[in-house]
Amino acid sequence: MKTCYKCKLSKPPQKFYFRKETLKYRPLCIKCQLLKNMEYRKSQLGKNTYTEYKSSSAYKIKLFKANKSPKKKLALKRYAKSLNGRLKRNINQTFRYCKQLKAMPKWLDNSQRELIKMNYQLAHYLTEVTGIPHQVDHIYPLQGKNSSGLHVPWNLRVIPAHENQIKKNNII
Ligand SMILES: [Zn+2]
pLDDT digits (tens, 9 = 90+) for 53-90: 888 888 888 888 888 888 888 988 999 898 889 888 98
Tell how far the Cα of 8 is from the centroid of ligand 1, in angstroms.
6
Q: What angle do CA 123, 146, 111 make, to 5 degrees?
A: 40
Tell me the C-alpha distance between 144 and 170, whole Å: 7
In a 3-state reduction of DSSP, which class is residue 135? strand
Cα separation, 116 vs 159, whole angstroms: 15
Task: Report every protein residue that has its C-beta within 5 angstroms of ion ligand 1.
Answer: 4, 6-7, 29, 32
| Residue 12 C-alpha from the chain's centroid | 54
Average pLDDT of the residues in 20-29: 89
pLDDT band at 31 (very low <50, low <70, confident <90, very high): very high
CB–CB of 18/27 below 8 Å? no
Categorize the per-residue pLDDT at 36 as very low, low, confident or very high, splitting at 50, 70 and 90: very high
Residue pLDDT, tens place only, 8-23: 989 998 899 998 888 8
Distance from the alpha carbon of residue 43 to the mean position of ligand 1, in angstroms: 20
How many whole angstroms separate alpha carbon 126 and alpha carbon 123? 5
How far is it, in rounded angstroms, from Cα 48 to Cα 158? 61
For 13-22, 110-119, 142-151, which range has the lowest pLDDT when averaged over its residues?
142-151
What is the CA(9)–ligand 1 centre distance, in A? 6
Tell me the C-alpha distance between 144 and 97, whole Å.
15
C-alpha 118 to ligand 1 mean position (Å): 72
Cα 85 to averaged position of ligand 1 atoms, centre (Å): 63
C-alpha closest to that of 98 among 140, 133, 126, 127: 140
Domain edges within the chain: 7-44, 75-167
- Helix, strand, or coil (residue 28): strand
The pTM assigned to this predicted structure is 0.55
pLDDT digits (tens, 9 = 90+) for 147-162: 788 888 898 899 998 8
- pLDDT reported for residue 50: 82
